[in-house]
Amino acid sequence: MNEALTVALGDRAYPIHFTDSKAALRQCVAELKEAKREIRVLTDANLHKCQSDYLQAVGFAKEEILSLPAGEPTKSIESYAETLRCLAHENLNRDSALFAFGGGVIGDLAGFVAASYLRGIDFYQIPTSLLAMVDSSVGGKTGINLPEGKNLVGAFWQPKAVFIDTGLLQSLPTREFAAGMAEIVKYGLLADRTLFEELESLGAPNPESKALPAIIRRCCEIKAHIVVNDETETAASGGRALLNLGHTFAHAIENAAGYGDYLHGEAVAIGLVLATQLSVNLGQLEVAWTDRVIELLQANALPVRLKSALTISDLVTAMQRDKKNRSGNLRFVTLKAAGEAITTDGVETALIEALWQGVGAA
């Protein structure tokens, strides 16, 4: 468990550090400073307040920390521009480096800033949420939201390293931890039935669960394998798009509800229910899996229906902006079997509308 996992992208390969991550991070920061390279850390106000000692312990100075408001609305053009201007104002050059210290919002935003500032500077991921540890910190997808849709602006920009310290989960709110479990369930469904069944037997893990580090590592292994084989999501079928199981529905929920009403993982949980039901309706998956998915999500305090009614027309409109779509047609990730996902085109709109209605849309 102490060995780093490598994302094998040739000359852009990078390590994901696990149980030795704090020491590895401290060494990384020290080496950058010894080389006289400017560094900055992008974080959010909540983390800055409760984890300032951690940042100091690994070598960051107070003046190197940039703090933004917490929450999904921060993943915006306004915050992107503010961060770029801050780097420019402080005269950071092309050999500088940007660290993302936060969950998916900060990681995606920092990565996009790094990808575009001076046409690209190094960046490093220090995920602090379960969701970021198992998913968004790995693979180089960066970006921001538009009012029209989730992650519509961004770039593929791989980090130089990822430092996963599960000790940071101790300060994570219970709701945020549950949101991360949705992505773990996703990995079991799309690529590892054994993982899904392990989650069923565990019930509801918590930050102190002995099984959690191995589960996090397994999710990173799955993602690294998929990313290496289809880094920029160009495969005609399957490929990196499979990582979006449930996300066509989830992104539509986030957009239609207004960013911030649902945590990303909460929307993903409902999306996984809908993706499973879609797979059953298409004759790809046994009907019993719908109940199994719902029961596992509920065991982890995740929603399986909308909190309040959203308009079906708004949800379908949001889905039509999904990045996986091809030639104007909706494209879904569905389940051929538990642990085996595929991409599916040509789904009738009437079926999608009926599925939305089944989870409380109107």
24 neighbors 163 (Cβ within 8 angstroms): yes
Please provide the average confidence, as pLDDT, over all residues in the chain: 95
Identified catalytic residue from 145, 151, 244, 255: 244
Banded model confidence at residue 323, pLDDT cuts 50, 70, 90: low
Catalytic entry in 40, 48, 247, 331:
247
pLDDT of residue 1: 46
Give yes or no: 233 in active site. yes
Above 70 in pLDDT, residue 335?
A: yes
pLDDT of residue 264: 95
183 is catalytic: yes
∠ CA 268-156-341, rounded to 5°: 40
Catalytic residue among 72, 176, 231, 233: 233
Catalytic residue among 48, 150, 240, 331: 240
Comparing C-alpha atoms, which of 239, 238, 241, 262 is closest to residue 251?
262
Give the domains, in start order, of the chain with CATH numbers: 5-171 (3.40.50.1970), 174-358 (1.20.1090.10)
Q: Are 120 and 129 in contact, with CB atoms under 8 Å apart?
A: no
324 labelled catalytic: no
Could you tell me if 213 and 206 are in contact, meaning their C-beta atoms sit under 8 angstroms apart? no
Cα 233 from Cα 242, distance rounded (Å) = 9
Mean of the pLDDT values across residues 352-361? 97
Least reliable range by pLDDT among 162-171, 179-188, 258-267, 322-331 = 322-331
**Active-site annotation holds for 141:** yes
pLDDT in tens, 76-128: 999 999 999 999 999 999 999 999 999 999 999 999 999 999 999 999 999 99
Give 325's pLDDT tier (boundaries 50, 70, 90): low
Q: Is 231 noted as a catalytic residue in this protein?
A: no
Please tell me the least confidently modeled range out of 6-10, 168-172, 235-239, 275-279. Answer: 235-239
Pairing of strands 331-337, 340-345: antiparallel
* 240 a catalytic residue: yes
The amino acid sitting at 10 is G
- Catalytic residue of the set 264, 300, 324, 331: 264
Exactly one of 17, 40, 75, 141 is catalytic; name it.
Answer: 141
Reply yes or no on whether the pLDDT at 328 is more than 70.
Answer: no
Both tokens assigned to 176: 């945020």
Instruction: Name the active-site residue from 75, 217, 223, 331.
Output: 223
Across 195-208, average pLDDT: 94
Catalytic residue among 63, 119, 208, 210: 119
- Average pLDDT rounded to a whole number, residues 144-165: 95
The pLDDT tens digits of the residues spanning 214-261 come to 999 999 999 999 999 999 999 988 899 999 999 999 999 999 999 889
48 is known as an active-site residue = no
Is the pLDDT reported for residue 324 higher than 80?
Answer: no
| Catalytic choice (17, 72, 145, 183) | 183
Report which of 99, 45, 95 is spatially closest to residue 73, judged by C-alpha positions.
Answer: 45
pLDDT at 203: 81
The active-site residue out of 251, 266, 281, 324 is: 251
Please indicate whether residue 251 is annotated as part of the active site: yes
For 127: left if phi > 0, alpha if psi spans -120 to 50, otherwise beta; the answer is beta
Secondary structure string (H, E, C) spanning the chain = CCCCEEECCHHHCEEEECCCHHHHHHHHHHHHHHCCCCEEEEEEHHHHHHCHHHHHHCCCCHHHEEEECCCHHHCCHHHHHHHHHHHHHCCCCCCCEEEEEECHHHHHHHHHHHHHHHHCCEEEEEECCHHHHHHHCCCCEEEEEECCEEEEEEEECCCCCEECCHHHHHHCCHHHHHHHHHHHHHHHHHHCHHHHHHHHHHCCCCCCCCCHHHHHHHHHHHHHHHHHHCCCCCCCCCHHHHHHCCHHHHHHHHHHHCCCCCCHHHHHHHHHHHHHHHHHHCCCCCCHHHHHHHHHHHHCCCCCCCCCCCCHHHHHHHHCCCCCCECCECEEEEEEECCEEEEEECCCHHHHHHHHHHCCCC
